[in-house]
Amino acid sequence: MLAPEKLWWKPLGRMEKTWLTVAFVWCVFLTVMMPLWYFYGKQNVPTETYRVTREQFAAKVNEFVTQYQVGDENGIPVVAPPPGSDVYLRASTWQWYPILQLEKGQTYRLHISSMDLQHGFSLQPVNINLQVIPGFDYVATIVPTSAGEFTIVCNEFCNLGHHTMVGKVIVK
């Protein structure tokens, strides 16, 4: 019985060389574009991250709700902070708390943290995605550019009930 012919050391054909060249050039292009797009693409949310205990962040959220609550929706407070202020949003199994009411065209510093598990903050339909991790205060500078009601969904599987983790941002 003869072994199959070993083709892997034979010279490449013209088509193989062409496709290897195309793949190599494409890889170089994408590698160069990643840092360029990060700095010049204007799609990245300006962020800061700080260490925080769950208790500290929960206290800040509760203080924020007490200070700026304007109503409630299905038992969840609706808060309307003044433009330019720090806005706090808490992720916990399986709830975003509170509902935020913001003004169009105004700047806010959005503080997000989790009380229990890793969650994913996804603001739909504008598709802003942030990771929310316990023990970290993730601060994003945001400027709402259109009015309406926006849905916050958790896009990081956080166990049973994950599909019910929906919040809301109202922009007036």
pLDDT digits over 98-132, tens only?
A: 999 999 999 999 999 999 888 988 888 887 888 88
Residue 2 pLDDT > 90, yes or no? Answer: no
Euclidean distance between CA atoms 4 and 115, whole angstroms: 60
pLDDT band of residue 48 (cuts 50, 70, 90) is confident
44 pLDDT higher than 70: no
For tokens 């034979």, the residue is 10
Burial class (CB in 10 A: 0-12, 13-18, 19+), 132: buried
Q: Model pTM? A: 0.74
Cα separation, 23 vs 31, whole angstroms = 12
